[in-house]
Amino acid sequence: MTDWDVSAADVATAALARGQSSAQVFDAYAEFAARDFRSIGHKVIYLSNAYRTLETIGWQYAEPVLRSLTYAMLNHVGEPNPATSDLAPDRDGRANQGRTDSIRADWLTGRDDSAATSELLVALRSVSADEASRLVVEQLNAGVSHRSIYDALFAAAAELTMRQPAIVPLHAMTTTNAIHYAFRTCGSDSLRKFLLLQNAAFIPQFRDAAQGRGKLEERWIDSLQPVAASGSEMLVADIFQQLGKDPAGAASQMLGYLKAGHSVDDAMRHARQLIFLKGNDSHDYKYSSAVLEDFQQVTPAWRDRFLAASLYKMRHAGEPTTPLVGRIREALTS
């Protein structure tokens, strides 16, 4: 894998699948899944979701999945061998590999610092990928917790979907979800450091890639204002009805709904139901699964804003119901 040698890696994969534990396999792949920005995050998404799947269906099915995963890790279509070349998608990974030793030894302990989260969030709107990684190293060495840093990364990804509810920002969310899963799952301290720094580097790359697709609106997650219900109590169904007409208004209503202490479980249940009823693409499921899982990973100081901002790319009540639902209902009643 280090040499980007497809044939040799394929042979090694078979041996890995047959002779190593699932934890060892995961760590071996996690080293490579986020080393480059090719495929807009799909490499690490594939790793995390393949591992989740194999943990569910059983590792007796691992070998063909891992062989496919190996090919995905080595994707570099139309380029020379990255191992012997200085290519843009690899530079941040190489720089961050060299930075891990500069992070304090007790970096997994630290203070939760909302000001540091805000500092990193604001920086991610304009800095380069390299500058983002450097700032994370500085914050960690200043005693900031990795939780506060991940608050900024989750918030920045959600903010991108506010600014441009399209395919590239969507992948900022699903990639951050996948890297954070790898961060939580891997057993290597140096690998966790590397994954965190790469996640920080990926956000500016997603931002720049999104700008190449269209305008990024000036919408900021930390400026989102909660809107309280007028008259009768706000219902979560009303918010998802509003989403189809005015996403900004729906996001503010959701923030108001959550700040008022209403049930987040009801909001999640409604969002999930609309994905089942209105979703017509695999990305609908990927995105919503990432959002609903990561809500629990964000600290309480930021999680309500995270969920509210994420609405921009959710399904809403005014969309047509997928024909599959009708077929299922017909089958159940026949």
The per-residue pLDDT for range 117-158, each reduced to its tens digit, is 999 999 999 999 999 999 999 999 999 999 999 999 999 999
Each residue of 58-74: pLDDT tens digit?
999 999 999 999 999 99
User: Residues of the chain with pLDDT > 90: what percent?
Assistant: 93
Q: Which of 106, 130, 107 is nearest to 203 (CA)?
A: 130
Helix, coil or strand: residue 269: helix
pLDDT of residue 235: 86
Helices 62-73 and 22-33: crossing angle in degrees, nearest 10, is 20
pLDDT value for 48: 97
* pLDDT category of residue 234 using cuts at 50, 70 and 90: low
Looking at residue 126, its pLDDT comes to 98
pLDDT of residue 334: 78
Q: What is the dihedral of CA 296, 297, 299, 300, to 10 degrees?
A: -10
**pLDDT value of position 232:** 52
Mean of pLDDT over the chain: 95
283-321, pLDDT tens digit by residue? 999 999 999 999 999 999 999 999 999 999 999 999 999
pLDDT value of residue 230: 58
Query: Does residue 14 have a pLDDT over 80?
Result: yes
> Residue 36 above 70 pLDDT?
yes
Confidence of residue 228 (pLDDT cuts 50, 70, 90): confident
CA distances from 324 to 12, 272, 277, 279, 320 (A): 42, 16, 9, 10, 11
Tell which residue, 323, 328, 51, 8, has the closest CA to residue 184.
Answer: 51
Q: pLDDT band for 161, please (50, 70, 90 cuts).
A: very high
pLDDT tens per residue, range 75-110: 999 999 999 999 999 999 999 999 999 999 999 999
Q: What confidence tier does 20 reach under pLDDT thresholds 50, 70, 90?
A: very high
Q: Where are the domains of the chain?
A: 6-73, 88-211, 224-313
Cβ neighbours of residue 143 closer than 8 Å, sequence gap 6 or more: 110, 111
**Torsion angle in degrees (nearest 10) through CA of 188, 140, 181, 272:** 170
E strand or H helix at 308, and its extent?
Answer: helix 300-310
**What pLDDT is attached to residue 13?**
95
CA distance 306 to 260: 16
CA atoms within 13 A on the CB side of 90: 17
Instruction: Grade residue 233 by pLDDT with cuts at 50, 70 and 90.
Output: low
90's enclosing H/E stretch is: helix 88-99
Return the pLDDT at 198.
Answer: 98
**195, pLDDT greater than 80:** yes
> Among residues of the chain, what percentage have pLDDT more than 70?
98
